[in-house]
Amino acid sequence: MNPKKLFSNEAFDVLKIDNVRYFLTYRFVMTCATMMQSIVIGWQVYSLTKNVLLLGVIGLVEAVPQVGIALFAGHFADIWDRKKIIQYTTILLLVGAGILLAYSVPELDCYTRFGIFPMFITIFLTGFVRGVLMPAHTAFLGQIVPRDKLTSAATWNSTNWQLAAVIGPAFGGLLYGFSGVVPAYSGVFILYAFAIYLISRVKSQRVAPVINTDENIFERISVGVRYVFKNQVLLGAFSLDMFAVLFGDAVALLPVFASDILKTGPEGLGVLRAAPAVGAILMSVYLAFNPPVNRSGRKLLWCVAGFGLAIIAFALSRNFYLSAFLLLLSGSFDNMSVVVRGSILQLYTPDEVRGRVAAVNSIFIGSSNEIGTFESGLTAKYMGTIPSVIFGGCMTLLIVGIASRKAPKLRKLELKDAV
């Protein structure tokens, strides 16, 4: 089979599958709601407290339950109905959005009465739900897509997510800026409700789990962990992404850049938050027709290095438009990592262990994103905002060098060989 024909000429074939279209639409709506909620919470907390460290604490509070539940969630994603897991946990996200909406109604005066604490309880709930959802989402996608279309599905899934990551923050920032916090949280609530309807439309056949009755839950969890740590390609890709984003991501500090450095409001924050996703969409469209199936590992390493350089340049910029462009560039580089890592997970993992391997991956992602948010807030508190972002970009470049040397199988990776 001609790999170029398989991955280029048939780029749209996976979208002809009804289940895939419903699932991707669900992911789009759900991600829009999550991104809207994230940007509204960040701006609201900073506006109320003017404490940059709390922006980092938001990430930590979300990461702890996400990482803590992930391995157990992966175990159950391999033995329970994955669609039902997704449905029930999305309902919990709806409940969390309702709490934030009620808390922000001026007439209730909740901030004066209860302080910031109830908001962090809701953030904790969101982290718990994401820890359950991420393995289920990944495993469910592999369940409804034929193997020869998995890389195409991973690319469109990434494109779909990044498109939502553009629209969600931009819409959230504009809605907050022009209408206020209550309409912004109302929009989040409505989108979560619609997402629940969409996932109910997906028709999937339950995959019979392969269970060793002699194993207890902890033994089964350890199978997934060992599978990742014995596979240099999986471990290398997961680790590279984790450490690069852990140190290099500047998203958590965007409210500070928007408010204090670039002198813009929540509208500008929405644009900055959306800019990496715009770059990611452009890269995703390119990858849909030119997938990274040749020299995949080298392209991955070069793009992560480009991500680090773009973040350093962003820290030094004082022009809003240049800053937005550099964030766009960082998003385009980062998307290569997302597509390659997603393809590796689907192609190198059997279905019966995919939920547990996806759970390990979600821990890596949670560590890089949410704990990275805490790291950003902490370093910004004690190093200063700009030096902390420059430090993070330099650490990303160092990680690329280490990964290139310590994971030769990842460096030599050719995805076309795994199809």
Domains of the chain: 3-201+217-418 (1.20.1250.20)
Least confident piece of the model among 97-101, 140-144, 266-270, 350-354:
350-354
Mean pLDDT of 103-125: 79
**Residue 311 pLDDT exceeds 60:** yes
Bigger pLDDT: 147 vs 199: 199
CB atoms within 10 A of CB 180: 13
Q: Considering only CA atoms, which of 119, 124, 388, 168 is closest in space to residue 256?
A: 388
Bigger pLDDT: 353 vs 40: 40
pLDDT of residue 2: 43
Residues in the chain: 419
Written as one letter, the residue type at 196 is: I
Q: Considering only CA atoms, which of 9, 296, 343 is closest in space to residue 153?
A: 343
Mean pLDDT of 289-302: 77
**Residue 3 pLDDT exceeds 50:** no
Query: Residues of the chain with pLDDT > 70: what percent?
Result: 84
Q: Considering only CA atoms, which of 294, 348, 342, 10 is closest in space to residue 149?
A: 10
CB contact set of 207 (below 8 Å; sequence gap of 6+): 82, 143, 351
**Residue 168 pLDDT exceeds 80:** yes
Q: Would you call 197 helix, strand, or coil by DSSP?
A: helix
- Joined together, the tokens standing for residue 320 give 């809003």
pLDDT of residue 90: 92
Mean pLDDT of 316-333: 89
User: Please, what sign has the CA dihedral across residues 383, 375, 173, 335?
Assistant: positive
pLDDT of residue 370: 57
Written as one letter, the residue type at 227 is: Y
Q: Are 410 and 300 in contact (CB under 8 A)?
A: yes
pLDDT of residue 204: 67
If pLDDT is split at 50, 70 and 90, which confidence band does 248 have? Answer: low
Highest mean pLDDT out of 306-315, 343-352, 399-408: 306-315
Sequence-separated contacts (24+) of 176-182 with Cβ below 8 Å: 176/39, 176/40, 176/43, 176/44, 176/266, 176/270, 177/265, 177/266, 177/267, 177/270, 178/267, 181/40, 181/44, 181/104, 182/101, 182/104, 182/105, 182/106
Q: Are 127 and 66 in contact (CB under 8 A)?
A: yes
pLDDT of residue 290: 74
If pLDDT is split at 50, 70 and 90, which confidence band does 82 have? Answer: confident
Written as one letter, the residue type at 9 is: N
**Residue 84 pLDDT exceeds 90:** no
Please tell me what DSSP assigns to residue 214. T
Q: Would you call 348 helix, strand, or coil by DSSP?
A: coil
Q: Would you call 2 helix, strand, or coil by DSSP?
A: coil
Looking at every residue in the chain, the average pLDDT score rounds to 78
**Residue 395 pLDDT exceeds 80:** yes
Least confident piece of the model among 136-140, 240-244, 270-274, 405-409:
240-244
Q: Are 51 and 187 in contact (CB under 8 A)?
A: no
CA distances (Å), origin 250, targets 33, 81, 281: 21, 37, 19
Beta strands in 201-297 (DSSP E): none
**Backbone torsions φ then ψ of 216, nearest 5 degrees:** -90, 180
Mean pLDDT of 71-96: 84
In angstroms, rounded to a whole number, what is the distance separating the alpha carbons of residues 370 and 377?
11
Query: Residues of the chain with pLDDT > 90: what percent?
Result: 8
CB contact set of 416 (below 8 Å; sequence gap of 6+): 3, 7, 293, 294
CA distances (Å), origin 163, targets 24, 30, 31: 11, 12, 9
Q: Considering only CA atoms, which of 61, 322, 23 is closest in space to residue 160?
A: 23
pLDDT of residue 207: 57
**Residue 194 pLDDT exceeds 90:** yes
If pLDDT is split at 50, 70 and 90, which confidence band does 6 have? Answer: very low
Work out the angle between the directed axes of helices 351-366 and 320-347 (0-180°, nearest 10).
Answer: 150
Q: Would you call 318 helix, strand, or coil by DSSP?
A: coil
pLDDT of residue 299: 82
pLDDT of residue 258: 80
In angstroms, rounded to a whole number, what is the distance separating the alpha carbons of residues 419 and 74?
24
Q: What is the pLDDT of residues 222-237, one digit of tens each?
A: 777 777 777 777 777 7
pLDDT of residue 5: 42
Least confident piece of the model among 185-189, 252-256, 321-325:
252-256
Q: Is 360 exposed, middle or buried (0-12, 13-18, 19+ CB in 10 A)?
A: buried
In angstroms, rounded to a whole number, what is the distance separating the alpha carbons of residues 396 and 382?
20
CA atoms within 13 A on the CB side of 204: 24
Q: What is the pLDDT of residues 358-394, one digit of tens each?
A: 777 777 765 566 566 666 767 777 777 888 888 888 8
